[in-house]
Structures are given as structure tokens and as C-alpha cells.
Structure 1
Amino acid sequence: MSCVRFVSCGVAARCMRGASVNLTRPMTNAVVAQRFETRQFRTTATRQDIDQAAKYIGAGAAAVGAAGSGSGIGTVFGSLIIGYARNPSLKNNLFTYAVLGFALSEAMGLFCFLLAAGILFAF
């Protein structure tokens, strides 16, 4: 019953007329009317100091691997000396393995150093 009254009193016709007017408006008005927000970087001196300190902490943590490389090289050559003292006839084989262990340990140390340099100078 109330639907019939709504339609018969002309309210529906007025609502539909308003909707059609809204649909026939050009889209450029809607786009121009929008306010575009711009983002700005708000860096303060405190924030820059915090970022700089974080870079130094990260580079220091990455450089810890170089100490591991040094201890690895010491272990490799210490084992070479012990192995040569026990069995001198395996000198060539032991030296080959020692050079391989040295290269792997040194490569990890260089990787840690390059990572620390990248943290300091790239970011």
C-alpha cells in the first residue's frame, strides 16, 4: 500500500529525474572537482640522524662476518700444520685442501665486507 502512495504522489518521478541529471553530467567536472593530495617527504634532522645510525649499526653487523673469516682461515692453516705433523707424506693433498678452505673462508669475508660497504654507501 505504501509503495503505491510513493509512486502515485510523484516522489519517485522526482527522484528518477534527479538521478538522470546526475548521470548526464560530464565526467570532467567530477575529475576536476577532486582534490589531489600530494605526498611530501618530511625528513627532519632527528629522522636523518636515526637513519644514519641505523646504517652504521647494519654495516657493523655485516662486518662481523669478516672476523669469522679470519678465524676460519686460522683454523684451516692450523689444521694443515697438525695434519702435516702427523703424516708428512700427505703434504700435497693437505695443502690442496687447505688452499680450498682458505679460498672459501676468504670469499665469505669479502662478501661480508661488500655487504657492509653496500649498506653504507648505497642507501
Structure 2
Amino acid sequence: MKLHTTTTTMALLLLLLLASSSLQVAMAGSDFCDGKCKVRCSKASRHDDCLRYCGVCCASCNCVPSGTAGNKDECPCYRDMTTGQGTRKRPKCP
């Protein structure tokens, strides 16, 4: 019984360690994405929508093209993300 409790405790500690390191990586990326998306969306007419989609794309790609428009070839992952399927498929990232 003692071995089972020790094994369970070690597994829980390992899980907690992995979860906390993932959280730190996610939080570290948010400052990067927030800054890049703020620049990218600074001239957008729908500023809040631009920031939201840019943030989603940045979190997935770890990249945001420079400038306020265009330059998407700098970040192919960002460029190639789309919404919808079929004939309604559109670029997701601003």
C-alpha cells in the first residue's frame, strides 16, 4: 500500500510541475503577442476584432508580420490560417 501512495504522489507532483511550466510558457508568449498585435492592429477599423484574431494567430504561430498590413510572407503559418471551409474560407489572421 505504501508503494502505491508514493507512486501516486510522485505522479501528481510530476503533473503539477508540467502544468506550471506550460503555464509559464503561455504567459511568456502573451507579452510578445500583445505587443506585436498592438502594432499590427493600430490602424484597423475594427480594432478589438483585429486584436482578438491576431492574438489567436500569434499564439498558434509565434509570429506576427511586421507593419500594420501586408508582409504576411514573413510568417507563413500566420498567412495560411483560415476560417470556415469550402467557398466561405477566408484568411483568419489580420
Which TM class, normalised by the smaller chain length?
Answer: 0.3 to 0.5
More relative contact order, 1 or 2 (CA 8 Å, 6+ apart): 1
TM-score by length of 1: 0.35
Q: Which has the higher strand share?
A: 2
Q: Which has the higher helix share?
A: 1
